[in-house]
Structure 1
């Protein structure tokens, strides 16, 4: 008799991609499955899209909650309802490829293992960059002044998940965006810790390690992890709940104590970056107050916002520019200054640096000095630096 499986479909930080993600699951999963969808105060527009995908489908259960839930809370609801041999948790901003679930099932059955994780690619279909935490490799015990503690070490060269295409056992399960569990695992380990929000992938990895649950990495199973930049406005409330800095700091304080670690392999910076990204809508309002809508301005963003709805209504010039397209970072200060002067002469009213390009001003020091000496800096915060060129 073949094994049965439940897919638990849960939100992570947004809802806007859920219908597309769910449709891909139906289109590219060719083994029977039961589906549990967790709806935790999904904005109406996105829930209607999900309902269209679910319309007429069998073996589907929806868990409705009228308030936001964290990913771990959602997973625990799925565990309570799932009765199949396997449970696959997949977040609603994950896009699956052909045969993704069959490969995970085969890895668990044939390797064998109790948990299987796929190859996770950052970005849309067609992208190739692997998404993983290289710092979460393996564990050793170390003697400290406070007794024996555990130290998390990075992957060694032969362990790295971006190398090779062979199935292999790993000590720590890594990213939580898509994972297949034998249902029996939860007879050995506690459900997901609902106090943990920011460091959920580290916490669940250590729980499996502590219980000696074998985990297999199956690179033939491929999914894509995609988070729009920035999130849409109606996703922002949930997004900021997910990346609350106070809760993130609580995780950073709690996880080392919970698992007797020397230190945790993360810091607050990623949560801070997600917050800055969420605040980009407010940043665009700041730009509107500074730059008249009909005036073009130079945008230094390494093409992050190309065709993004957040810059609709602005007349942006990419820096550097060739035939209206972004042309890459300048080779040196002289190139940056020449390119800037050329674009300034076309009537650009300002030059705007987005947060992830602040390094340009540290790297191209003469270019930075040139701007500071010739033009007033009219806005500088953790998200934007703007020089008025008028």
Structure 2
């Protein structure tokens, strides 16, 4: 039977780590060793983790009193693992595995054969169905540019798409790095985990591609990638270090040059989005300062904050609304205005546009003009736009 070590480490926060770790022990039915990276984990979460690890002999804990980024943790796992292992599996601490996930990955490597195996990744908690992957990472072609021959990464098409089909297949680019299985021998040929923070999935994909490392996608192996929204307050220091905008902007240029790419398939939007999420607690305080708990308001957020602690205690009405629930995007300006007026007649105090719905104000220009002409701004920043209706 192949020997395998699982490396377990944080990605952007710590609050899901104990649950994630418990599922690894519950749903992995082959022998394995575990290397647990504790890099300045807040005490409350480390105590939860210790309860999961208690009495287990197949665990090695590596402690650092400072934060490590995911690739730093991956390289530490390689360094600290048994050099005679057949496989190393890297898994981040906000991943929830399903039954026999690891057995399927090893089987795929052995039977395909391949040196790296990638599971099917579901975005969200247990019960979710949305596939999480980067559709921009399909194939690599050489192209002639004014600066000479460069590489171009093309989007996935047809059977390359990970949201289609149920059969394992070869991948030209490995893609998402939330959970990956490697043959130990790969690291004799290439080190795919450079000192990269934001663009780790693109950098490692190109490193494997450049070294002709065969990669297989195994849809039978299912994991869930879940990031709580927003992170707990005691996770924010690590969260903001992980999503440093200046570091990300620097990497966009560095990775493009490193791999001689004609253009990048990523931009700063995702990092900017993560930073907005990290500031949601501040947004809550700003809303509390201008809208008291006894004043109902219309919330335009495409249902992003439904049930979220950020709006707990507020009286929110979704827009559009039917029987108290979010009904969807208006068909046109007239529908938006009519729906707004219907809700306005109920005595709501304000209408709040969350940043996920800012595009409504650009697309429904008639609706936007209608609001601006009739109502003053109560609050306007990068996170919300609030019109006072009273």
The bucket for the TM-score relative to the shorter chain is over 0.9
Deviations 1:104-129 (A, max 9, x none): 01000111100000011111122221
Partners in 2 of 1:332 and 1:57 — Cα distance?
60
Partner of 1:389: 389
Partners in 1 of 2:143 and 2:80 — Cα distance?
40
Partner of 1:227: 227
Contact 1:19 1:46 in 2 (8 A): yes
- CA RMSD for the aligned pairs? 1.4
Partner of 1:168: 169
SS of 1:53's partner is: helix
Partner of 1:61: 60
Deviation at residue 344 of structure 1 after TM alignment: 2.1
Aligned length: 388
SS of 2:46's partner is: helix
SS of 1:127's partner is: coil
Partners in 1 of 2:353 and 2:144 — Cα distance?
47
Deviations 1:196-227 (A, max 9, x none): 11100000011111111100011111111111
Closer, same or farther: CA 148–352 of 1 in aligned 2, 3 Å: same
Contact 1:330 1:336 in 2 (8 A): yes
Deviation at residue 158 of structure 1 after TM alignment: 2.8
Contact 2:199 2:251 in 1 (8 A): yes
Partner of 2:160: 159
Partners in 1 of 2:345 and 2:42 — Cα distance?
46
Partner of 1:34: 33
Contact 2:192 2:207 in 1 (8 A): no
Partner of 1:358: 358
- Whether 2:3 is the aligned partner of 1:7: answer no
Q: Which moved more, 1:146-155 or 1:21-30?
A: 146-155
Deviation at residue 143 of structure 1 after TM alignment: 2.9
Deviations 1:175-194 (A, max 9, x none): 01010001111111125112
Partner of 1:241: 241
Partner of 1:147: 148
Partner of 2:370: 370
How do residues 12-31 of structure 1 correspond to structure 2 at under 5 angstroms?
Answer: 12-31=11-30
Deviations 1:250-301 (A, max 9, x none): 1101011111221221111111111112111111111111111222211111
- Whether 2:211 is the aligned partner of 1:217: answer no
Partner of 1:197: 197
Partners in 2 of 1:344 and 1:116 — Cα distance?
54
Partners in 2 of 1:256 and 1:176 — Cα distance?
19
Partners in 1 of 2:366 and 2:259 — Cα distance?
48
SS of 1:310's partner is: helix
Q: Which moved more, 1:145-154 or 1:239-248?
A: 145-154
Contact 1:76 1:191 in 2 (8 A): no
SS of 2:159's partner is: coil
Partner of 1:44: 43
Partners in 1 of 2:38 and 2:310 — Cα distance?
27
SS of 2:158's partner is: coil
Partner of 1:120: 121
Q: Which moved more, 1:134-143 or 1:335-344?
A: 335-344
Contact 2:123 2:224 in 1 (8 A): yes
Partner of 1:72: 71
Partner of 2:100: 99
Partners in 1 of 2:318 and 2:146 — Cα distance?
54
Partners in 2 of 1:267 and 1:315 — Cα distance?
36
SS of 1:105's partner is: helix
Partners in 2 of 1:51 and 1:313 — Cα distance?
34
